């Protein structure tokens, strides 16, 4: 069980063997003094009791050694068991009893302190216990008496380090000059007693857990001293034998810089420059790699906070809200990042326990349906949105004129009348323009109708309440919005609307009509003429006047008034011709996209700033690039490299330009003549978002995004134009005010780019682009100090292919509101009205006066016979919504795939139309999309948190969508499926979130007995089907949990209040897939649209029609079973980023070293090394062991040289001398 050599004793037995063979280790000399009950005490308790009361040195040492051997032989479980049995208190009592004597016996104190350090390191309450036992000041006293005895001092320092885990204990030590004593124990570079030096640094760092001690350190100038110590050790440790000392000094600096005052002190003392210089040296040696990361983290944390270069944190776009004039949200409200994500995306900042507590465990709330939020008398108004229930299909009898048939209903005619009463009247000149361009717009009578009549002055609008508004302002529209509180289509406001024809100027003063007659090779050189500063896709007469002025021509205002209309008409006709010729020569055939129809739709789009320019990609169209695009590989240590560049920006300002080159609020910077070599930026178009661009270096730009309208939060989405570039030069872009704490940009995602030149050459593609991409926390802060706001930098580098190209960069593939309207018009023209019932209506008008379209798609009946009409009017409903969050453009691409499929001639689509009635609202937040917001509507609220009780004025689209669902529910036509399309910024793949009572109770650990609960498992059917047929779908990423924080989302409210079993949020990744055939690939628009198609296919699994069942089985058989190896839905989707996104609060641990290793290494030294001359030999031995990585070990080395053969013999002689007490089986028996 044990073996011993010349000076070492090793115990190999177990506790039971110890108790049976050596009761002398476990019993006391005096039976009455024992505190443990003989009938219940374990051997360990007897050992601890004996330790507190035993008097002789030899027995105490034996007990300490046995305890150490027992605790070293296994895992930490033994130590925690000892702590539960009062081990910490026993050791502290022994320490006080031994240390309080006039001449303490260090033969006992040293092993006792070492064991106390090992045990106390694992006891979270050791500090409080030490205070109660009176051991704190005693240990500090022992330290003061032994500053010249390195081994004794090291033992005391480790115990002080352990005690300092308690704030009150650390303050107590600081109050008794502990900080000063320990600080002065840290020497300049030396080769002696390195373990003691390291123990001093670690103890000093441990004391810095309190604000009081940190303030004391700062006030005494110790930060400057720590920096000088680090510099001294760094410069003189040429053999790298004291890497752990340097690492410990960095850890000490990390601790102290939790304080703002300490960070300022470090910066003022040149700390960042020192760290930058030493880190550059460390990068040259692999041995010093462990010092690089803590140095980088320390520099990141201490870089001075830099306010954003903005006049206000509020968005550049403001909109007066009805009932709240001039009342904007408080810009000092801290950002609530738990609401930053899509419907069910949980913030990574939330602790796991908070996530578990978020589950809804109230069975009544999970099962009982709450009362409706409005009286039933208001619901019949939504009958107009169900024309399929009343339409008589007279056109089925007009087979001789199929091209002129219409599926209009009386309700849509009623919509037209309502709309015509609230739309602005146009002038004679505007009417002439609209007539000239009428061929490019839809004329179907069941389309969204907007009329223009004579009799009113241009710029006047008649509101639904009869209020005449001349030159309407946003405030007037706020009043008008209140008038339509209960009339969803009674008011469409005119906010700085475009000219009625929205003429697109393809040319500029540099781009004459002769350019169009050039050869294709020559035409390619004119891509620069499409940037927004010169050749503008615009309808603004003012902008065309500026072009004429630049060409030295007279404006119409300088000619006779009678010639104005004729000249403008001729000019517009000229531009129309040029557009037609340009499209004919270079236009790509983009399915379901017509540029002229897009232009017509955009003419009616209303924005806060009054956009008068079209972005070229939106007008021209997009084709998916051939092939797939792989996820971008992450360059090793790329974030570190970018941080170094940012630090150099702070240290060396010689090459820093810091010049604003674009400002959303300053139009004079749009075409700067004094900076011909800088890039030019522009974002004043639909969906655009870039507030300010600052040229930092010649080829580096900081970009500041615009916050959501009417608030100061949620900057994340970006979409802007960039031009005037030089080919083959890497440009670095830094988006510096992102708010989300992590992003798929850290996991292979790239932004997207569209090149005008490439489009003119026949490649109109949005493509993934960018290298050296990373996303990390930065040192910027709000312009006016909004509390608790943390900003993150998205940095990427782009090398453009062409000189003087015009390119567009975006967070993800843009999809505008005008694109939705144009797409619906194209689809309407494409369907056969004799087969497809396609009805486009207006759900309501938004705050800004844009119409929110709702589409009904189903199959026309085979005849007007009663049986066929009855079958149509009894089809189940499927309700689909999307784009409630404007920044989730991927949701619109999925919706595009769904719409196109349902309108197609595919047999599955035909089967779905015959089986269901589809109600589709493609865009729930038109105003947010138009104005380039990321999360909110113009009311500064997340519309997907308004479903419980939506305001009819402030959240009209949600209010009326919920009203439509209430109406369907009231007439017994509750939807079979509801799905809200979303995008997810932090996860890969596509997946569903649903609702389940049982799964929520199971996951929350609720005590509710679920055995008796009955729940239809059909909520999983669609997800299981998608998992088999959709390559991008991940079943294992789905969950069906109901959280309290999501109680006001569409998914939960529709499930709870309308009783829709299959109520979902479908989340689509911005990045790509990590499973299946798309593994390692980024999703493009093709894959997103495919997902929309596959979702339609999955609906066949919930129909009762036999033919549909056959179809879905055929679809599944056509697909190989997909290899989906996705993550568990209750875990984080991604592993921790390879580089720290946040600042590390503490220094990263050094591999191979811990407190146990330090203690054991210190005990391996001999008395001669301390008490002797501490010469070169001992120092070399310490260096040799200290410079190497030490494996964590609990192997006992407390008193190996004190246990001799004589001691064992003496113990054997005393085996049966303790009052006849034998210890067997871990208990004391008489």
pLDDT in tens, 788-832: 688 999 999 999 999 999 999 999 999 999 999 999 999 999 999
Torsion-angle region of 714 (φ positive above 0: left; ψ -120 to 50: alpha; else: beta): left
**Beta-strand pair 917-921/877-882:** parallel
Cβ contact 1060:1054 at 8 Å: yes
Cα distance between the two ends of the chain: 25
Each residue of 1043-1066: pLDDT tens digit?
A: 998 999 999 999 999 999 999 999
Give the residue carrying structure tokens 């340009």.
582
What pLDDT shows up at residue 583? 76
DSSP 351-371: -HHHHHHTB---HHHHHSPPP
Q: Find how far residue 741's CA is from the centre of its chain.
A: 5
Radius of gyration of the chain measured on its C-alpha atoms = 38
How far apart CA 92 and CA 129 sit, in angstroms, is 8
Among 1067, 1090, 1139, 1169, the active-site one is 1067
How far apart CA 608 and CA 588 sit, in angstroms, is 32
Q: Is 1067 a catalytic residue?
A: yes
Task: List Cβ neighbours of 326 (8 Å cut-off, separation of 6 or more).
Answer: 320
CA distances from 1072 to 628, 667, 735, 886, 1083 (A): 11, 38, 22, 20, 5
Torsional sign, CA 163, 166, 170, 172: negative
The DSSP letter of residue 308 is -
How far apart CA 340 and CA 336 sit, in angstroms, is 7
Q: Find how far residue 611's CA is from the centre of its chain.
A: 30
CA distances from 360 to 614, 1000, 1040, 1045 (A): 46, 7, 12, 9
Torsional sign, CA 1175, 1176, 1182, 1186: positive
141 CB neighbour count, 10 Å cutoff? 15
Query: Which residue positions in the chain have pLDDT lower than 70?
Result: 1-41, 54, 74, 324-356, 397-578, 587-588, 671-674, 785-788, 1105-1109, 1111-1112, 1114-1134, 1145-1146, 1148-1153, 1162-1230
* pTM (two decimals): 0.80
What pLDDT shows up at residue 52? 78
Give the DSSP H/E element, type plus range, for residue 298: helix 289-302
How far apart CA 394 and CA 852 sit, in angstroms, is 28
How far apart CA 759 and CA 527 sit, in angstroms, is 9
Task: List Cβ neighbours of 397 (8 Å cut-off, separation of 6 or more).
Answer: 864
What pLDDT shows up at residue 121? 87
The DSSP letter of residue 702 is E
Dig out the tokens for 369 from the structure. 């349906």
**Among candidates 920, 922, 918, which has minimal Cα distance to 891?**
922
């Amino acid at each position: 069980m044990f073996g011993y050599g010349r000076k070492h004793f090793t115990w190999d037995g177990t506790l039971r063997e110890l108790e049976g063979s050596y009761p002398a280790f476990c019993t006391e000399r005096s039976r009455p003094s024992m505190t443990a009950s003989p009938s219940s005490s374990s051997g360990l308790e007897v050992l601890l009791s004996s330790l507190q009361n035993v008097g002789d040195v030899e027995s105490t040492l034996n007990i300490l050694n046995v305890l150490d051997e027992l605790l070293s032989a296994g895992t930490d479980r033994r130590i925690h068991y000892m702590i539960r049995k009062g081990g910490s208190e026993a050791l502290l009592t022994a320490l006080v009893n031994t240390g309080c004597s006039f001449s303490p016996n260090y033969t006992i104190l040293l092993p006792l302190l070492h064991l106390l350090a090992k045990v106390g390191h694992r006891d979270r309450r050791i500090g409080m216990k030490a205070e109660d036992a009176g051991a704190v000041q005693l240990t500090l006293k022992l330290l003061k008496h032994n500053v010249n005895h390195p081994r004794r001092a090291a033992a005391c320092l480790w115990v002080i380090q352990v005690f300092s885990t308690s704030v009150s204990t650390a303050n107590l030590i600081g109050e008794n000059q502990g900080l000063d004593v320990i600080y002065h124990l840290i020497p300049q570079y030396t080769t002696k007693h390195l373990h003691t030096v390291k123990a001093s640094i670690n103890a000093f760092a441990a004391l810095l857990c309190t604000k009081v001690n940190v303030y004391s350190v700062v006030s005494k100038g110790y930060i400057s001293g720590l920096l000088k110590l680090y510099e001294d050790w760094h410069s003189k440790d040429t053999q790298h034998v004291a890497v752990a000392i340097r690492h410990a000094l960095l850890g000490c600096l990390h601790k102290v810089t939790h304080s703002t005052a300490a960070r300022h002190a470090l910066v003022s003392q040149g700390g960042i420059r020192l760290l930058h210089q030493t880190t550059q040296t460390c990068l040259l040696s692999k041995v010093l790699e462990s010092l690089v990361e803590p140095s980088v983290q320390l520099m990141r944390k201490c870089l001075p906070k830099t306010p954003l270069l903005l006049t206000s944190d509020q968005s550049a776009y403001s909109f007066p809200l009805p009932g709240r004039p001039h009342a904007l949200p408080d810009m000092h409200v801290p950002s609530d990042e738990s609401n930053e994500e899509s419907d069910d995306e949980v913030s990574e900042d939330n602790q796991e326990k908070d996530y578990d507590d978020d589950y809804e465990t109230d069975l009544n709330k999970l099962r009982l349906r709450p009362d409706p939020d409005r009286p039933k008398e208001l619901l019949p108004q939504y009958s107009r949105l169900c024309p399929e229930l009343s339409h008589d299909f007279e056109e089925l009898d007009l087979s001789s004129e199929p091209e002129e048939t219409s599926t209009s209903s009386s309700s849509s005619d009623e919509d037209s009348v309502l709309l015509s009463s609230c739309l602005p009247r146009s002038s004679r000149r505007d009417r002439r323009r609209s007539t000239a361009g009428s061929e490019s717009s839809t004329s179907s009578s069941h389309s969204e109708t907007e009329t223009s009549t004579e009799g009113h002055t241009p710029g006047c609008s008649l509101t639904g309440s009869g209020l005449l508004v001349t030159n309407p302002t946003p405030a007037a529209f706020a009043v008008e919005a209140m008038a339509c509180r209960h009339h969803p289509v009674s008011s469409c406001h005119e906010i700085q609307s475009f000219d009625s024809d929205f003429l697109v100027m393809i040319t500029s003063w540099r781009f004459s009509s002769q350019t169009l007659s050039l050869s294709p090779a020559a035409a390619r050189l004119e891509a620069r003429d499409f940037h927004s500063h010169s050749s503008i896709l615009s309808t603004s007469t003012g902008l065309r006047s500026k072009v004429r002025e630049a060409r030295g021509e007279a404006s119409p205002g300088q000619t006779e008034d009678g010639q104005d209309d004729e000249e403008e008409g001729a000019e517009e006709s000229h531009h129309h011709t040029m557009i037609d010729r340009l499209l004919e020569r270079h236009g790509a055939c983009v399915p379901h996209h017509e540029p002229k129809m897009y232009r017509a739709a955009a003419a009616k789009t209303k924005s806060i700033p009054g956009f008068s320019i079209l972005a070229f990609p939106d007008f021209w169209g997009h084709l998916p690039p051939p092939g797939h695009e792989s996820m971008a590989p992450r360059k090793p240590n790329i974030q570190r490299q970018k941080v170094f560049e940012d630090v150099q920006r702070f240290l060396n300002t010689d090459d820093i330009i810091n010049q604003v080159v674009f400002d959303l609020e300053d139009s004079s910077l749009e075409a700067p003549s004094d900076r011909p070599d800088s890039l030019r930026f522009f974002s004043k178009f639909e969906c655009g978002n870039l507030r300010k661009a600052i040229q930092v270096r010649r080829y580096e730009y900081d970009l500041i995004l615009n916050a959501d309208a009417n608030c100061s939060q949620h900057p994340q989405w970006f979409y802007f134009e960039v031009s005037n570039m030089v080919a083959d030069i890497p440009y670095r872009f830094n988006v510096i005010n992102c708010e989300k704490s992590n992003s798929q940009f850290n996991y292979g995602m790239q932004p997207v780019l569209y090149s005008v030149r490439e489009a003119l050459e026949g490649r109109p593609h949005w493509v993934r682009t960018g290298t050296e991409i990373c996303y990390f926390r930065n040192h910027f802060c709000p312009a006016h100090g909004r509390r608790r706001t943390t900003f993150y930098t998205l940095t990427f580098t782009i090398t453009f292919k062409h000189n003087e190209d015009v390119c567009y960069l975006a967070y993800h593939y843009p999809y505008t509101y005008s694109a939705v309207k144009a797409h619906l018009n194209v689809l309407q023209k494409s369907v056969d009205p004799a087969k497809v019932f396609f009805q486009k209506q207006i759900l309501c008008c938004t705050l800004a006066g844009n119409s929110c379209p709702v589409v009904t798609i189903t199959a026309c009946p085979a005849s007007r016979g009663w049986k066929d009409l009855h079958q149509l009017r009894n089809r189940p409903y499927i309700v689909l919504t999307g784009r409630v969050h404007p920044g989730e453009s991927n949701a619109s691409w999925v919706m595009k795939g769904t719409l196109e499929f349902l309108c197609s001639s595919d047999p599955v689509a035909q089967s779905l139309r015959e089986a269901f009635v589809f109600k589709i609202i493609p865009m729930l937040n038109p105003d947010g999309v138009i104005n380039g917001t990321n999360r909110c509507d113009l009311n500064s609220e997340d519309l997907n948190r308004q479903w419980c009780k939506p305001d009819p004025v402030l959240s009209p689209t949600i209010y009326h969508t919920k009203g439509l669902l209430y109406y369907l529910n009231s007439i017994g036509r509750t939807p079979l499926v509801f799905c809200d399309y979303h995008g997810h910024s932090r996860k890969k793949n596509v997946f569903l979130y649903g609702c389940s009572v049982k799964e929520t109770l199971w996951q929350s650990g609720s005590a509710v007995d679920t055995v008796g609960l009955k729940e239809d498992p059909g909520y999983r059917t669609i997800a299981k089907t998608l998992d088999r047929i959709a390559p991008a779908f991940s079943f294992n990423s789905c969950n069906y949990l109901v959280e309290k924080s999501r109680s006001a989302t569409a998914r939960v409210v529709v499930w709870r209040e309308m009783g829709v079993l299959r109520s979902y949020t479908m989340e689509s990744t911005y990045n790509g897939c990590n499973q299946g055939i798309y593994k390692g690939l980024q999703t493009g628009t093709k894959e997103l649209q495919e997902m929309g198609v596959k979702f339609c296919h999955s609906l066949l699994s919930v129909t009762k029609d036999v033919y549909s069942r056959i179809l879905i089985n055929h679809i599944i058989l056509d697909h190989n079973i997909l290899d989906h190896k996705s993550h568990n839905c209750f875990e984080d989707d991604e592993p921790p980023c390879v580089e720290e996104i946040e600042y590390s609060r503490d220094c990263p641990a050094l591999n191979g070293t811990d407190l146990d290793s330090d203690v054991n290494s210190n005990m391996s030294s001999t008395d001669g090394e301390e008490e002797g001359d501490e010469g070169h030999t001992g120092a070399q031995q310490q260096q040799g062991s200290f410079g190497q990585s030490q494996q964590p070990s609990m192997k006992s080395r407390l008193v190996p040289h004190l246990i001799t053969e004589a001691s064992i013999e003496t113990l054997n002689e005393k085996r049966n001398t303790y009052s006849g007490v034998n210890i067997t089986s871990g208990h004391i028996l008489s």
